[in-house]
Amino acid sequence: ENRGSVVAKVSTPPATHRFSSRDSRSAVDAVEGAVVALEDDPEFNAGCGSVLNTNGEVEMDASIMDGKDLSTGAVSAVRGIANPIKLARLVMEKTPHCFLTHHGAAQFAAAMGVPEIPAEKLITERNKKRLEKEKHEKDAQKTDCQK
C-alpha cells in the first residue's frame, strides 16, 4: 500500500470533515462523516476495502460515542452494509442497547431500512490477493507433521 497517498487522503477533506465551533453540525455528525469517507474509499480497510476473513468474506465492526452524554453505539460482524458507522449511530440513537452483533445487527439494520449491498461490492482485488498471499504463507509455515 502507498502510505503517502493514504496519509494525504486522511489529511484533507472530506475525510477530515473539519469541524469548528461555528459549524452547525454536531461533533458526532463530523465523526460519522469522516468515517463514512473512509468506508467509501477502497484504499482503507473499512467498508469497501475491508480485510477479508479466512473465508474470503467481509465482516465489519464500527462504534461511535457522543461525548456530551456518553451514549454509545456499536455493531460487529456486519455483512452487506456499505457504512457500518451509520448503523452504529442508529444503535446509539434508536435503541436502549449499546452493541449489536451479527444476526441481531442485521435484523436491526433491516428494521431501520438500512440498504443492503451485494457482498462482492465490498471486496477489492487487492484484498483477494492479500488473502491468497496470507494463505500461501501460512501453508508454507506448516511443519511436515501438520501437512
**Nearest-CA neighbor of 131 among 56, 50, 42?**
56
* Whether the predicted pLDDT of 17 surpasses 60: no
User: Does a structural domain hold residue 138?
Assistant: yes
User: Does a structural domain hold residue 21?
Assistant: no
pLDDT tens profile 73-83: 999 999 999 99
CB 128 within 8 A of CB 56: yes
Which pLDDT value is given to residue 5? 67
Identify the bridge partners of residue 64 per DSSP, sorted by sequence position: 73
User: Does a structural domain hold residue 20?
Assistant: no
Place of cell 457504512: 83
Domain of 94, in residue numbers? 27-145
pLDDT tens profile 43-92: 899 999 999 999 999 999 999 999 999 999 999 999 999 999 999 999 99
**Nearest-CA neighbor of 18 among 29, 3, 5?**
29
User: Does a structural domain hold residue 59?
Assistant: yes
User: Does a structural domain hold residue 4?
Assistant: no
User: Does a structural domain hold residue 93?
Assistant: yes
